[in-house]
């Protein structure tokens, strides 16, 4: 494929994405484009396009019904092809969404977030992201020094102990944890329920909550944790709750609210619901399959 053909494809994609007149691209060839002329800010963000409103099928028989279908799912329906292959825009969006998912897993929750939330931070026994991904068992445990730190900094025997953890998406915590936590606290205060000292756990798996429950002797332990990201979103957060959690307890003892993000259940709405669930857990002294909601 010649340089002219490649250039033509790029012009077509940018035109379909609502970019500036493709004639600007003619003045920005490889040989003539200066650094000032070609700013990265001018490149459209392909992930900013709402995929549910984007119909790439040419001349659909019923466009309105097709768009109704797309509103019901984040799946990649309503795309087209060039021969047996995806069109360039579809492939670029797929790769961009995959990059978002990778960033969610491998990035860390920002220090600005921890400072704003006034959270002290501890880590499980994982040393880095690679070990976190390959040794789930270490993401459930704390060394003795960390256990002592948690005991020193946290309220003992809280009715409800809430903490946050990066899990498999630090992006989810940055995007949702603050609003969800605020709504939970507001709801629990309305019920007159005592809440312990919040903190953050780095490289945390869900069962780390069992160890925290034992360390602090909490009646109910709650973790806001990043979910495994997909190509639909990298911002999905879950909330796991357990009554009198113990290390080695069955997973069926946990109550979970998932898909907390702007495209699912909003953080504020989820927080209010979580507070109601916690009240029921205290009333029934149960969680998981034993809890009647």
Mean pLDDT (the chain, rounded): 88
Compute CA distances 244 → 42, 157, 215, 250, whole Å.
54, 11, 11, 12
Closest among 270, 107, 72 to 187, alpha carbons compared: 270
Distance of alpha carbon 233 from alpha carbon 253, whole angstroms: 28
Tell me the average pLDDT across 61-76: 88
Asked if 162 and 222 count as a contact pair (C-beta separation under 8 A), the reply is yes
3-106 topology per CATH: DNA Binding (I), subunit A (1.10.30)
pLDDT band with cut points at 50, 70 and 90 for residue 39 = low
Distance of alpha carbon 96 from alpha carbon 48, whole angstroms: 11
Give the predicted TM-score (pTM) of the model: 0.79
The owner of tokens 């909601």 is 293
Residue 162 pLDDT exceeds 90: yes
Residue 188 pLDDT exceeds 90: yes
Residue 183 pLDDT exceeds 90: yes
Better pLDDT: 87 or 18:
87
Residue 21 pLDDT exceeds 80: no
CA 16 to chain centre: 29
Domain assignments of the chain as residue spans, ordered by start: 3-106, 111-290
Query: Quick check: do 3-106 and 111-290 share a fold?
Result: no
Distance of alpha carbon 124 from alpha carbon 109, whole angstroms: 15
Give the H or E element holding residue 185: helix 170-191
What burial class does residue 293 get, using C-beta atoms within 10 Å of its C-beta: 0-12 exposed, 13-18 middle, 19+ buried?
exposed
Distance of alpha carbon 138 from alpha carbon 113, whole angstroms: 25
- Scored b (16 or more CB within 10 A) or e, 103-133 reads ebbeeebeeebbeebebeebbbbbeeeeebe
DSSP string, 228-288: PP-SS-S--EEEEEEES--TT--GGGEEEEEEESTTSB-HHHHHHHHHHHHHHHHHHT--G
111-290 topology per CATH: Rossmann fold (3.40.50)
Long-range CB pairs of 124-130 (<8 Å, 24+ gap) are 124/201, 124/202, 124/203, 124/204, 124/205, 124/208, 126/203, 128/203, 129/105, 129/203
pLDDT band with cut points at 50, 70 and 90 for residue 153 = very high
Q: What per-residue confidence (pLDDT) applies to 34?
A: 53
- Sign of the dihedral through C-alpha 242, 244, 247, 252: negative
Residue 65 pLDDT exceeds 60: yes
Strand order in the sheet with 160-165: 120-123, 199-202, 160-165, 220-226, 237-243, 254-260
Distance of alpha carbon 166 from alpha carbon 201, whole angstroms: 7
């Amino acid at each position: 494929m010649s340089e002219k053909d490649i250039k033509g494809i790029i012009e077509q994609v940018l035109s379909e994405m609502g970019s500036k007149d493709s004639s600007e691209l003619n003045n920005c060839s490889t040989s003539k484009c200066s650094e000032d002329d070609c700013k990265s800010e001018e490149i459209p963000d392909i992930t900013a396009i709402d995929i549910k409103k984007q119909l790439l099928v040419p001349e659909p028989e019923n466009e309105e019904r097709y768009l109704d279908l797309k509103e019901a799912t984040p799946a990649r329906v309503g795309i087209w092809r060039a021969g047996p292959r995806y069109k360039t825009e579809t492939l670029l969006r797929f790769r961009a969404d995959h990059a978002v998912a990778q960033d969610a897993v491998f990035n860390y929750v920002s220090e600005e977030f921890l400072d704003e939330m006034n959270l002290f931070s501890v880590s499980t026994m994982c040393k880095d992201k690679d070990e976190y991904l390959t040794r789930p068992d270490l993401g459930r445990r704390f060394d003795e020094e960390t256990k002592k730190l948690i005991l020193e900094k946290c309220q003992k025997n809280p009715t409800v102990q809430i903490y946050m953890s990066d899990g498999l998406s630090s992006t989810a915590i940055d995007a949702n944890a603050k609003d969800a936590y605020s709504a939970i606290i507001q709801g629990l205060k309305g019920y007159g329920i005592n809440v312990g000292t919040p903190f953050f756990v780095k490289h945390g798996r869900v069962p780390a909550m069992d160890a925290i429950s034992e360390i602090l002797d909490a009646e109910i332990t709650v973790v806001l944790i990043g979910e495994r990201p997909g190509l639909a979103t990298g911002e999905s957060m879950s909330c796991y709750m357990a009554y009198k959690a113990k290390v080695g307890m069955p997973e069926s003892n946990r109550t979970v609210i998932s898909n907390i993000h702007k495209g699912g259940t909003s953080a504020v709405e989820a927080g209010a619901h979580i507070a109601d669930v916690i009240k029921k857990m205290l009333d029934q002294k149960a969680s998981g399959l034993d809890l009647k909601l």
